[in-house]
Structure 1
Amino acid sequence: MYTKVVALLVAAATLTACGAAAGSSDVSQQQPRITSAKVDRIAAEVPQAIRDRGTLQVITSVGTVPPLSFYDNDNKTPIGVEVDIAALVADVLGLKTQTNVASWENVFVGLDSGKYDAGFTNITVTEARKEKYDFATYRLDNVSFEARKGSNWKVSGAPDVAGRTIAVSSGTNQEKLLLDWNAQNVAKGLKPVDVKYFQNSTDYYLALQSGRIDAYLGPNPTAAYHVKSSGQTEIVGTISGAGPTLQGEIAATTKKGNGLVQALNDALNQIIADGSYRKVLDRWGLGNEAVPKSVINPPGLPRT
């Protein structure tokens, strides 16, 4: 997703507060890691220098809330869906995972320099990024409308939000999508959306629980995990973070032309086939972001 998603996830540190007790045991590294088996023919595709080293140097940007990449209870071990998927890929390649943590901008600096082999950190495929990087997709890039459980309301298009009160974070891709939908509705004579903004992320969920808003539109990973851990809300609609004309996709990212993307792609398709991929997504409540297959360098978000 756009880079602001990372900042949003960091800012949303307390989003899961109302479900912390329910979800705390789910985010511990104490649980056995889901694994996959080495596949020799795929492992043979890895560049010789990486095979000789024996490790896949993964870079991720750690936030403070589940389920992407965040620190375990020891405040030093990176865990989350991104870390788990990277480890599965390394299993298939016959490598050990070395998970490195960097700020968002330094993820790309590290890939550019060759210090890290691959980024697994909610990186969306874009046409601009394809000039410098190769991509192997592994999750859908979606945003979701989260409402109180039992709301009996579904969102599949712009008319469904007409007249509703919806919260969104200012300056995000989600805000742009919501305002675009609202403009379409107003042009058709439908009731406008009452868009709400709050000072911090916790307030969205307090407003949702009290009935002051009908839904919160935010990144699907945060929403899906909150639904899983709290048991008090539900997702009533999911749309592509790229908008109505393109399905955005999250991908393993590597320096263009370094010879690793085919191995990453084949390893991802292997874990999709053997079922370990789906187990990881379900563990983190992200089954609705599963891809049927990994694709190399698909159409990305257009230049803006």
Structure 2
Amino acid sequence: MKKILSAVLAVAMLCTCVLMFTACGGNNSSAASDASSKTEAKELHMATNAAFEPYEYKEGGEVVGIDADIANAICEKLGCKLVIDDMDFDAIITAVTSGKDDFGMAGMTITDERKQSVDFTDPYTNAVQVIIVNEKDSPVASADDLKGKSIGVQMGTTGDIYVTDIEGAKVERFNKGADAVLALTQGKVDAVVIDNQPAKAFVAQNPGTKILDDPFENEEYAICLKKGSELTEQFNKALKELKDDGTIDTIIKKYISE
């Protein structure tokens, strides 16, 4: 009888552990069933590319920025610990679909093409794609002038997607937006298409470059998750609460002045 009672108690304790850690998700769906991996079950892994200031960038070896702060706020609401995995931008969706990371957040625009691979949360901010050129003797004065020109982009971004269809354009793809802007200053490309906020940082760091006045494309940023993930609903609920209480606006204003 003592052995039977001990076995029943052990099963009950195991079930309790599983229930306690299921809500946080862990690094993949199987983590919830592994009650012995309590540390892993408390973590949510975020795939990002920390070269996209002010959304994500490195400061003192730590990934900081708008997306990092919003992700932290979401994880706090879910009672989880955030772990950020830095990688090339075009590796993020693969990391999410393979289960290596729980979600991707990297100034990522909702597109029909990406929807074929991942699910998206509700948008958390709006963004604008712009064109960076050299201030002197640039052959590009507007989006119409990009036809037949050499255009630098960060690989896998919406800037990459948008310019691919421009008539006669030669698209030069780089792992980092900063590398594309460097190529511009060296005369290797005629223009760079990238998000407005990182563009401001790049122009500030590279005298002699400027952002054209007319926006190239308007878009919305959201968080990507594995198709069918139960986290999508939880993230949307957390995002709504963070929008309603002003947390997201506060985070954005911390990094982007009016």
- Both structures adopt the same fold (TM-score exceeding 0.5): yes
Letter paired with 1:237: D
Superposition map of 1:190-229 within 5 A: 201-202=181-182, 204=184, 217-226=193-202
| C-alpha distance after superposition, 1:25-81 (max 9, x if no partner) | xxxxxxxxxxxxxxxxxxxxx953528733322121233x6223222233xx22222
How many pairs does the alignment contain?
205
Shift >6 Å, 4+ stretches? 227-232
Larger Rg: 2
Deviation at 1:89, TM superposition (A): 1.6
Contact 1:141 1:250 in 2 (8 A): yes
Give the letter aligned to residue 124 of structure 1: T
Name the aligned partner's letter for residue 69 of structure 1. Answer: E
CA distance in 2, matches of 1:272, 1:263: 14
Is 1:238 aligned to 2:215, yes or no? yes
The answer to whether the aligner puts 1:59 opposite 2:47 as a matched pair is: yes
CA contact (8 A) 1:144 1:217 kept: yes
Q: Secondary structure at the match of 1:169?
A: strand
Distance in 2 of aligned mates of 1:128 and 1:225: 28
Gaps of 5+ in 1: 1-45, 150-154, 184-194, 208-212, 241-246, 288-304
* Kept after mapping to 2: 8 A contact 1:143/1:174: no
Letter in 2 for 1:48: A
Cα contact 1:227–1:235 (8 A) shared by 2: no
Q: Does the residue aligned with 2:213 lie in a helix, a strand or coil?
A: strand
Residue number in structure 2 paired with 1:143 = 129
> Does 1 or 2 have the higher relative contact order (CA < 8 Å, sep 6+)?
1
> How far apart, CA to CA, are the structure 2 residues paired with 1:283 and 1:229?
20
Give the letter aligned to residue 94 of structure 2.
Answer: V
**Quick check: 1:146–1:237 contact (8 Å CA) kept in 2?**
no
3-state SS of paired residue (1:85)? helix
Q: CA RMSD in A?
A: 4.3
The structure whose residues are more often strand, as a share, is: 2
| Equivalent residue for 1:91, pick from 73, 76, 80 | 76
Shift of 1:267: 1.4
Opposite residue 138 of structure 1, the aligned amino acid is Y
Q: How far apart in 1 are the matches of 2:257 and 2:231?
A: 26
Equivalent residues in 2 for 1:87-126 (5 A)? 87-126=72-111
Percent same amino acid among aligned pairs? 19
Gap change, CA 1:108 and 1:169, over 3 Å in 2? closer
- Distance across 2 between alignment mates of 1:231 and 1:250: 29
Partner of residue 57, structure 2: 70
Pair 1:128–1:218, CA change in 2 (3 A)? closer
Three-state SS of the structure 2 residue aligned to 1:238 is coil
Q: 1:281 aligns with which of 252, 255, 258?
A: 252
In structure 2, how many angstroms separate the alpha carbons of the residues matched to 1:107 and 1:168?
Answer: 23
Q: 2:221 aligns with which of 250, 256, 271?
A: 250
Match of 1:48 in 2: 23
TM-score by length of 1: 0.51
Amino acid aligned to 1:56? L
1:69–1:83 contact (8 Å) kept in structure 2: yes
User: What amino acid sits opposite 2:57 in the alignment?
Assistant: F
Q: Are the equivalent residues in 2 in contact too, given 1:58–1:120 (CA < 8 A)? A: yes
Say if 2:129 and 2:194, in contact at 8 Å, map to a contact too. Answer: yes
